[in-house]
């Protein structure tokens, strides 16, 4: 069976063995630093007909450390003073994008920029996405994999009862500074969002019966690259857009997508030459696309590039710029996502229009990559999940999401990977093949399921309004 792969990053997951290092380990220190690092905020909340975001951008000194041998022998880490921010009922989500230019990005010396979060008591935790990335990373709160999964102490939903001050601690291998962009959503949570509690059934339908009563909207900016499609119009891919829209209109999400169109005639990106380089000057490269075509992007929309293909990446359907991506800014490495047309083709010559059936799969890919951009992980990673507890890089950190255990990777075909057909059971550990965020598509299984909690993440993204 051919598997099609949804990819979010080509860099591998990198595990930091010890948590809690990197500064801010006492409340006294934190209190002294309350005023540090604040930047001028711009509030875009004037109209209810568009997303509400507070965006800030600043340089933060890496003025602590080094912690010797942190990444291995001879590999130090430096860190910042804790950066304070607030989340709560009126600010349901804060997203951070951090960059530190350095050369330690090869597999032999991979040292990422990463984060720790601290609460006002000085307790630290890391998010599921904390160690992704080389020179840059994105992260968000509230949503994470701390002991209570979301914002810290006690029950998962309690922390949304009040505004909370949190602290961000930046870590990286170079003793200079970090560049940080920060977007805080300022669309107040509805009461049902604020007091949301997860379903707790031990079967494959867990979370699927939730219904969000208030419909939200989200703008989607479709960007056709030069060589991407026979006709560069929304109508030409309407079947895909309809599928994408239908998935997000389900009761468990209830977000209406509003599409707009941009086109490019730049031949540099007739095919994407590279999807993994961190060199923003590499001709035809994905990061060069994201960083050099900011004028095509909309800071208040989900930016989706439509490309012909990625050279040498035959089965790659699409990629997101991060989990989450960075709304509110254009021209960063995390400002967009991309889908590739040709890997979706089952019939017709390259460059011709896709069949309706292939357009439906393209719509699934858009929905999946958008899910990543908005903060969702795969239900289970490719080898299956090993556990349903704590911080776990083999499954989504949401406690509600059914997943698919490692043992299922040999259920039908013993190849070490879970296929959709191996994860269609009725329990909570042999399921999620039907979920929109399953790691791969087989082109047959209808991956339309999204849990209420997955929808809760989407609805609290700053792009939702």
Q: Which is closer to Zn ion, CB of 358 or CB of 396?
A: 396
Q: Which is closer to Zn ion, CB of 130 or CB of 339?
A: 339
Q: Which is closer to Zn ion, CB of 88 or CB of 137?
A: 137
CB of 376 to Zn ion, least distance (A): 9
SS3 for 193? helix
Spatial separation of the C-alpha atoms in residues 424 and 411, rounded to whole Å: 11
For the stretch 279-296, what's the b/e string if a residue is b when 16 or more beta carbons lie within 10 angstroms of its beta carbon?
eeeeebbbbbbbbbbeeb
Supply φ then ψ for residue 365, to 5 degrees: -65, -45
Q: Which is closer to Zn ion, CB of 171 or CB of 432?
A: 432
Supply φ then ψ for residue 177, to 5 degrees: -150, 170
Q: Which is closer to Zn ion, CB of 6 or CB of 411?
A: 6
Q: Which is closer to Zn ion, CB of 6 or CB of 150?
A: 6
CB of 378 to Zn ion, least distance (A): 5
CB of 24 to Zn ion, least distance (A): 32
CB of 255 to Zn ion, least distance (A): 19
CB of 439 to Zn ion, least distance (A): 6
Q: Which is closer to Zn ion, CB of 6 or CB of 373?
A: 6
> Residues 1 to 40: which contact Zn ion by CB under 5 A?
6
Cβ neighbors of 337 (< 8 A, separation 6 or more) are 302, 303, 304, 305, 318, 319, 320, 321, 325, 369, 370, 372, 373
CB of 384 to Zn ion, least distance (A): 15
Size of the site for Zn ion (CB under 5 A): 1
Q: Which is closer to Zn ion, CB of 4 or CB of 79?
A: 4
CB of 440 to Zn ion, least distance (A): 8
**DSSP-assigned letters across all residues of 4-65:** EEEES-SSPP---S--S-SS--SHHHHHHTTTTT----EE-TT-TTS--EEEEEEEEE--EE
Q: What DSSP element (H or E) covers 363?
A: helix 356-374
Question: CB atoms < 10 A from the CB of 55, how many?
Answer: 21
- What letter would DSSP give residue 255? E
Q: Which is closer to Zn ion, CB of 264 or CB of 364?
A: 364
CB of 302 to Zn ion, least distance (A): 15
Structure tokens belonging to residue 449: 């399921």
Spatial separation of the C-alpha atoms in residues 128 and 316, rounded to whole Å: 23
Cβ neighbors of 365 (< 8 A, separation 6 or more) are 6, 317, 318, 339, 344, 441
Q: Which is closer to Zn ion, CB of 6 or CB of 340?
A: 6
- What letter would DSSP give residue 296? G
> Residues 157 to 216: which contact Zn ion by CB under 5 A?
none
CB of 400 to Zn ion, least distance (A): 19
- Is residue 403 part of the contact set for Zn ion (CB under 5 A)? no
In the block, tokens 């509030």 appear at 43
N-terminal to C-terminal alpha carbon distance within the chain: 40
CB of 307 to Zn ion, least distance (A): 17
CB of 338 to Zn ion, least distance (A): 12
Rounded to a whole number of angstroms, the CA Rg of the chain reads 21
Q: Which is closer to Zn ion, CB of 113 or CB of 319?
A: 319
CB of 438 to Zn ion, least distance (A): 8
Q: Which is closer to Zn ion, CB of 181 or CB of 333?
A: 333
| Inter-CA distances, 43 with 102, 185, 350, Å | 33, 10, 45
Structure tokens belonging to residue 263: 């086109």
Cβ-proximal residue to Zn ion, closest one: 6
Supply φ then ψ for residue 288, to 5 degrees: -65, -40
| Inter-CA distances, 346 with 342, 359, 379, 441, Å | 9, 10, 27, 14
Q: Which residues contact Zn ion (rule: CB under 5 A)?
A: 6
């Amino acid at each position: 069976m051919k598997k099609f792969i949804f990819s979010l990053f080509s860099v591998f997951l990198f595990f930091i063995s010890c948590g809690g290092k990197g500064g801010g380990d006492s409340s006294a220190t934190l209190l002294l630093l309350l005023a540090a690092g604040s930047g001028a905020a711009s509030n875009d909340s004037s109209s209810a007909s568009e997303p509400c975001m507070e965006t800030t951008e600043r340089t933060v000194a890496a003025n602590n450390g080094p912690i010797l041998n942190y990444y291995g022998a001879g590999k130090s880490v430096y860190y910042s003073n804790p950066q304070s921010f607030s989340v709560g009922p009126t600010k349901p989500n804060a997203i951070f994008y951090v960059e530190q230019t350095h050369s330690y990005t090869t597999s032999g010396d991979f040292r990422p920029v990463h984060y720790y979060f601290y609460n006002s008591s000085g307790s630290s935790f890391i998010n599921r996405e904390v160690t992704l990335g080389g020179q840059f990373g994105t992260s968000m709160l509230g949503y994470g994999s701390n002991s209570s999964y979301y914002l810290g102490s006690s029950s998962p939903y309690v922390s949304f009862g009040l505004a909370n001050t949190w602290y961000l601690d930046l870590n990286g291998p170079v003793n200079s500074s970090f560049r940080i962009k920060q977007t805080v959503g300022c669309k107040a949570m509805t009461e049902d969002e604020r007091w949301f509690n997860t379903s707790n059934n031990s079967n494959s339908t867990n979370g699927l019966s939730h219904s969000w009563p208030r419909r939200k909207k989200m703008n989607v900016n479709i960007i056709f690259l030069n060589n991407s499609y026979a006709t560069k119009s929304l109508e030409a891919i309407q079947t895909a857009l309809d599928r994408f829209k239908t998935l997000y209109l389900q009761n468990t999400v209830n977000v209406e997508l509003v599409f707009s169109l941009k086109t490019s005639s730049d031949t540099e990106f007739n095919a994407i030459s590279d999807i993994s380089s961190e060199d923003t000057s590499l001709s035809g490269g994905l990061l060069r696309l994201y960083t050099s075509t900011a004028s095509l992007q909309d800071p208040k929309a989900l930016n989706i590039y439509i490309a012909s293909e990625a050279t040498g990446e035959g089965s790659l359907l699409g990629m997101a710029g991060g989990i989450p991506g960075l709304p509110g800014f254009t021209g960063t490495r995390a400002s967009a996502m991309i889908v590739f047309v040709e890997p979706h083709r089952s019939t017709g010559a390259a460059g011709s229009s896709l069949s309706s059936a292939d357009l439906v799969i393209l719509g699934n890919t858009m929905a999946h990559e958008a899910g990543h951009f908005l903060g969702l992980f795969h239900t289970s990673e490719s080898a299956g999940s090993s556990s349903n507890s704590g911080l776990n890089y083999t499954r989504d950190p949401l406690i509600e999401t059914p997943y698919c255990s490692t043992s299922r990777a040999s259920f039908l075909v013993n190849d070490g990977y879970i296929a959709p057909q191996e994860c269609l059971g009725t329990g909570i550990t042999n399921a999620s093949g039907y979920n929109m965020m399953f790691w791969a598509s087989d082109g047959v299984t209808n991956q339309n399921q999204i849990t209420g909690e997955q929808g809760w993440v989407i609805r609290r993204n700053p792009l939702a309004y």
